[in-house]
């Protein structure tokens, strides 16, 4: 894989969310990524592990999750190409949750030392990555509101709209459909409900003509109904340097 393909989605995202210069982009392109292939549903870095590198998603979908002492799993976030879901491990040395693949993934690992050196040489990039982790935190705040306060159908609608808005940035929407490769079980774990309840909610959204799931893809059937149900306000994604 040529070096300009590795961070392509990352560069595209950074250009949307931050005021980056061509010099910044050149430095990101020059980062020494070590590319590895992972199968679906495999831990990349586990709760309690000491991390020495960060992982850029080049291809595929990942999720972060945490498991309670009773063995109940909560999905905390869904991640798409162009994101570095464990960027915080640069400063938080021992993982406090799991990062795993949802689908087969191509991942680009960047050594912490290389990233630290880049930050020292180009403080503008350090600011940009800092902003990235702050947006990450903003997304967690929204996730808490979603799981804690919205009824299950609205919860699912919100996760769907958020994922779509993020996929839009990296040009991964085809017409009115896009990838959402989560099983019923995983949708339940993301929404904090049982798999059986998740199944009922998926059926309800289909019956009401809002969205349909087919084999890891979501098709939007009625845009207005979807937005109304989700109560979505995308400001928290900060998808422009001005926000």
Partner 1 sequence: MARFHFHIEENGRLIPDEEGKEFFSGDQVRKEAIATGASIAREAFMTGSPCRVVIDVREEDAPFLRVSITLDIEEKDEG
Q: Is 216 a residue that touches partner 1 (CB under 8 A)? A: no
Alpha-carbon distance of 210 to 221, in angstroms, equals 5
Rounded to 5°, angle at Cα 83 from 79 and 141: 60
- Residues of span 93-152 touching partner 1 by CB under 8 A: 151-152
Q: Which of 26, 66, 93, 203 binds partner 1 (CB under 8 A)?
A: 203
Name residue, tokens 């180009």: 122
Q: Is 212 a residue that touches partner 1 (CB under 8 A)? A: no
Q: Is 195 a residue that touches partner 1 (CB under 8 A)? A: yes
Pick between residue 46 and residue 183 the one whose CB is nearest to partner 1. Answer: 183
- Tell me the CA distances in angstroms from 51 to 44, 86, 102, 175, one per residue in order: 10, 9, 20, 39
Pick between residue 60 and residue 188 the one whose CB is nearest to partner 1. Answer: 188
Q: Which of 112, 119, 197, 206 binds partner 1 (CB under 8 A)?
A: 197
Residue 78 CB, nearest distance to partner 1 (Å)?
Answer: 21
Integer-rounded Cα radius of gyration of the chain? 18
Sheet holding 53-59, edge to edge: 34-38, 105-111, 53-59
Sole window of 112-120, 129-137, 163-171, 197-205 interacting with partner 1 (rule: CB under 8 A) = 197-205
Alpha-carbon distance of 91 to 50, in angstroms, equals 11
Binding site for partner 1 (CB under 8 A): 151-152, 193-197, 199-200, 203
């Amino acid at each position: 894989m040529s070096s300009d393909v590795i961070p392509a989605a990352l560069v595209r995202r950074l250009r949307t969310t931050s005021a980056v210069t061509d010099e910044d982009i050149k430095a990101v392109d020059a980062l020494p990524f070590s590319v590895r292939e992972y199968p679906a549903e495999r831990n990349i870095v586990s709760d309690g592990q000491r991390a020495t590198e960060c992982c850029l998603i080049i291809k595929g979908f990942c999720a972060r999750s945490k498991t309670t002492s009773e063995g109940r799993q909560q999905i905390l976030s869904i991640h798409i190409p162009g994101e570095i879901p464990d960027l915080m491990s640069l400063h938080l040395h021992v993982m406090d949750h799991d990062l795993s693949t949802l689908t087969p993934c191509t991942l680009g690992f960047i050594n912490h030392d290389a990233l630290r050196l880049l930050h020292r040489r180009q403080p503008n990039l350090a600011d940009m990555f800092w902003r990235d982790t702050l947006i990450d935190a903003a997304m967690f705040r929204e996730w808490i509101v979603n799981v804690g306060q919205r009824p299950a159908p609205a919860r699912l609608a919100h996760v769907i709209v958020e994922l779509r808005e993020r996929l839009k940035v990296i040009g991964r929407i085809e017409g009115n459909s896009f990838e959402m490769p989560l099983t019923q079980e995983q949708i339940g774990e993301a929404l904090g409900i049982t798999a059986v309840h998740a199944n009922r909610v998926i059926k309800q959204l289909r019956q009401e003509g809002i969205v349909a799931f087919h084999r890891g893809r979501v098709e939007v059937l009625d845009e207005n109904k979807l937005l109304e149900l989700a109560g979505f306000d995308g400001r928290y994604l900060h998808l422009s340097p001005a926000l």
